[in-house]
Structure 1
Amino acid sequence: MKTTTLKSLALFALVCTLPFVWQSCTEGKGKDSTVPKGNTAQVPVRVVSLSKSTSSGSITASGKLSTDDETTLGFKTAGVVNAVFVKEGDQVKKGQLLATLDLTEVNAQASLARHNYEKAQRDFQRITNLYRDSVATLEQLQNTQTGLSIAKEQLDAANFNRIFSEIHAPSNGFVLRKFVNAGQVVSSGAPILMTNGAVKGKWVLKIGVSDKQWSSISVKDKATVKMDAFPDRTFSATVSHKSETSDPQTGTFTIELEVKNEDARLATGMFGAVEIQSHEALSSWSVPYEAVLDANGNEGFVFITNDHKTAIKQPVIIESFNGKNIRISHGLEDAKALIIAGSAYLSDHSPIQIIK
């Protein structure tokens, strides 16, 4: 009887403790289910508000120096290069012989054309005499006259090819490039040498600008040019030409400026930084250079935020760069704030925390 009572009490105690054990397990599962999954850490960033400003009307860019009469020279006919008499950097005079082809084949063709022409002359003279004596017909006379004309044109063409199997300097200047050496086989019109007329002092600086900058530049706009080779000098320049089409590779428009030079020893290929005084003020965004990432030509991207909670990756078009700030012409029309610090740790739609 006593044993039965003890068993009953133990069973009663077990039943009473089950709800508490179940509640404890349930609460444990509930707490585990509220643990956040994944990385939702906010990236600390600094931002600035955006507003358009009007620049002073000056446009800055850089480009290479060249002359307005750079010329690529080649042979009229194909053949074997016999000799190239100049090297890169050599000064040349107008009419100076620069390179020749092996003239064996060209001279043979010219000689053959001359013999054919002489024979056509004799045939024409003989048929003319026979026609006067009423021995040859008018048709025979006309045929020999046509043959003489054809032979004369073939001789002219052979002589023309003979002349242009040699390259002569078109003007006083310098040899910029030498593309071949003696013994090479070249095709008709292949580049052999590049020359310029640098002794004339007509120097041109070519730069690439955006479409918006292009529209604000006019021919005869004034500009200044600085070069690393002459750090203490500033050269005056004038816009001399605007391209009407964009470069298919860079998307920029070419502007040519004539650089005024009196006594400086300039060289083709020198880099120059130019500032053009545009006739029209430009309205764009000025942003710190740290905010623009992966700049390539006039393209790049920035991070913006419209809700101060999420970063958005935004492509932009770069207008100019002055060493401290970058002017953006397109891409920020709908942006409310620009991220200027912490961008390196962001990706598109990253959560952010704004700090001051």
Structure 2
Amino acid sequence: MDVKTFSHHLIAVALCLSACSRGEQRTDGLADSDVIPVRTIQLATRDTSQLIRATGTFTTDDETVLAFKNGGVIQQIGVREGDSFRKGQVLASLESTEVNTAVRQAQLGVEKAERDYRRARQLFLDSVATQEQMENAETAYEAAKQDAERAAYNLGHTHIRAAFDGYVLQRPASPGQVVGPGSPVLVVSSTGRSGWLLKVGVSDRQWSAIQLGDLAAVTTDAAGGARFQATVHRKSEGIDPQSGTFAIYLKLNEQGLPDVASGMFGKAEIRLSAQTGAWYIPYEALLDGDAGTGYVFVTDDGQTARRIPVQIGEIQKDHVVVTGGLEHATSLIVSGSPYLRDGSKIAVK
């Protein structure tokens, strides 16, 4: 290679290196070697109880749905929503014409089967009928008696009788309505206006964090925004297919609680009993927050910035609650972050 050709190669390499160097320059007008002034704060964890906010409806601890064993036409419902009742009182009844007919038919079947059995038995004693014929007649007689017992049992369940003293919460059915077996006719409670619960729906993650006995504050429009104390009384063991949430039952302190009704809307703030370490940081220190995660800059030596991911627990009125990611950091950079990169040189103001 001659000297002229060699010189051309050196110029090409120099131009390439220059272009590459210009391509890596920062867009903010700063060089990577520049020292960026920043302000920092010392990090310290706080023990904090997190709040879970949820909404739901009022219900009772022993809410019971009453229904007929067999379907039919409702003849009468003797109580309305809000009525009280006594144990043994007839609350509702079905038209019994069809059931009475079935009972009479079953009785006639018993009478015929009994006559057939007696005739077969006498013929067997006279050596006219075989033992098998007599035994078949006896079996038919016993089966007819069982049919009669079943019909009589169904007749006894054309009425709904109160099993306890209580209070009507809901009446989802009306006289003259055709209902199927097990269709709700009345929703009752044995405690009336006491023992109220607020049933709220939460996510699976919140469900696992909430513990029995956790304290809560409940508000309802019926009380004009007043707050009432409650505790976590029960947790559902399965998901509600309609709402896609898990149910939490909050038992209310009845002292001062206004009149409420089943199905009335309420709001709750559940305070988790488990204490968790958290950091309260200023808004300006958080970068690229998204779906519970974000980034911040910290410094270990006061000379170099380090970019780390953090977990965001809650965004409150004047700060951000960080629940993870700052365990091994001592100083948080709270100003100058937009100009920083991982490894940038800094000067603490």
Place the TM-score, normalised by the shorter chain, in its bin. Answer: 0.5 to 0.7
Letter in 1 for 2:147: Q
Do 2:49 and 2:273's aligned partners in 1 also have CA atoms closer than 8 Å?
A: no
Correspondence for 2:146:
153
What amino acid does structure 2 have at the position aligned with 1:268?
Answer: S
282 and 136 in structure 1: CA distance in 2 versus 1, 3 angstrom threshold: farther
Question: For each residue in 1:291-340, what CA deviation from the matched residue of structure 2 results, as whole angstroms up to 9, or x when unmatched?
Answer: xxxxxxxxx989x999xxxxxxxxxxx988999999899xxxxxxxxxxx
In structure 1, what residue type is equivalent to 2:149? D
Question: Is 1:123 equivalent to 2:128 in the alignment?
Answer: no
- Classify the secondary structure of the residue corresponding to 1:123: helix
Tell me which amino acid in the other structure corresponds to 1:165.
Answer: T
Map of 1:268 onto structure 2: 262
3-state secondary structure, aligned to 1:229: helix
AA at the equivalent of 2:60: T
Segments of structure 2 that go 5 or more residues without pairing to the other structure are 1-42, 283-289, 297-311, 324-349
Q: Give the drift of 1:113.
A: 0.7
Q: Quote how far apart the aligned CAs of 1:248 are.
A: 4.1
Note if contact 1:61-1:320 (Cα within 8 Å) is conserved in structure 2: no
Rounded to whole Å, the distance in 2 between the matches of 1:190 and 1:263 is: 36
- 2:62 is paired with a residue of what secondary structure? coil
Alignment partner of 1:64 out of 57, 63, 67:
57
1:120 and 1:229, CA in 2 relative to 1: closer, same or farther beyond 3 A? same
Q: Is the 8 A contact 1:60 1:320 kept in 2?
A: no
Cα 1:271–1:283, aligned 2, differ >3 Å: closer, same or farther? farther
Q: Percent identity?
A: 40
Q: 1:200 to 1:272 in 2, by over 3 A?
A: closer
Q: State which of 144, 155, 164 in structure 1 corresponds to 2:157.
A: 164
Find out whether 1:252 has 2:232 as its counterpart: no
Aligned residue identity for 1:256: Y
Q: Whole-Å Cα distance in 2 between the matches of residues 123 and 190 of structure 1?
A: 41
Please name the residue that 1:279 is paired with: 273
Between the aligned partners of 2:279 and 2:154, the Cα distance in structure 1 is 59
CA deviation vs aligned residue, 1:38-58 (integer Å, no higher than 9, x gap): xxxxxxxxxxxxx99874244
Residue 205 of structure 2 aligns with an amino acid whose one-letter code is K
Distance in 2 between residues matched to 1:54 and 1:242, nearest whole Å = 26
Shift of 1:108: 0.6
- Sort the Cα spacing of 1:319 and 1:189 in 2 relative to 1 into closer, same or farther, 3 A: farther
Q: Give 1:115 shift.
A: 1.7
Cα 1:258–1:125, aligned 2, differ >3 Å: closer, same or farther?
Answer: farther
Instruction: After superposition, give the CA deviation of every residue in 1:263-304 in whole Å (9 maximum; x if it has no partner).
Output: 75443233343343423235789999xxxxxxxxxxx989x9
Amino acid corresponding to residue 121 of structure 2 in structure 1:
T
The residue number in structure 2 matching 1:82 is 75
Moved over 6 A (4+): 51-54, 283-288, 318-329
Q: CA 1:263/1:61 → structure 2, altered by over 3 Å: closer, same or farther?
A: same
**1:334-349 pair list within 5 angstroms:** none
Secondary structure of the 1:94 match is: coil
How big is each residue's C-alpha offset from its partner over 1:15-60, in whole Å with a ceiling of 9 and x where there is no partner? xxxxxxxxxxxxxxxxxxxxxxxxxxxxxxxxxxxx9987424433
> Partner letter of residue 246 of structure 1?
I
**RMSD of the alignment, in Å?**
4.3
Change (3 A) 1:153 1:285: farther
Amino acid of the structure 1 residue aligned with 2:151: A
Change (3 A) 1:183 1:111: same
Deviation by residue 1:107-164 (Cα, 9 ceiling, x = unmatched): 1111111221232233334433444454432212221221122212211221222122
Change (3 A) 1:54 1:247: farther
SS of 1:198's partner is coil
Shift of 1:250: 4.0
Q: Is the 8 A contact 1:60 1:322 kept in 2?
A: no
1:184 aligned onto 2:184: no
For the structure 1 residues 227 and 185, does the alpha-carbon distance in structure 2 shift closer, same or farther, using more than 3 Å as the test? closer
Return the TM-score normalized by structure 1.
0.59
- Residue in 1 aligned with 2:36? none
**Structure 1, unpaired ranges of 5+:** 1-50, 289-299, 307-317, 330-356
Q: Which whole-Å CA distance do the structure 2 matches of 1:107 and 1:255 have between them? A: 46
In structure 2, distance between residues paired with 1:118 and 1:319: 77
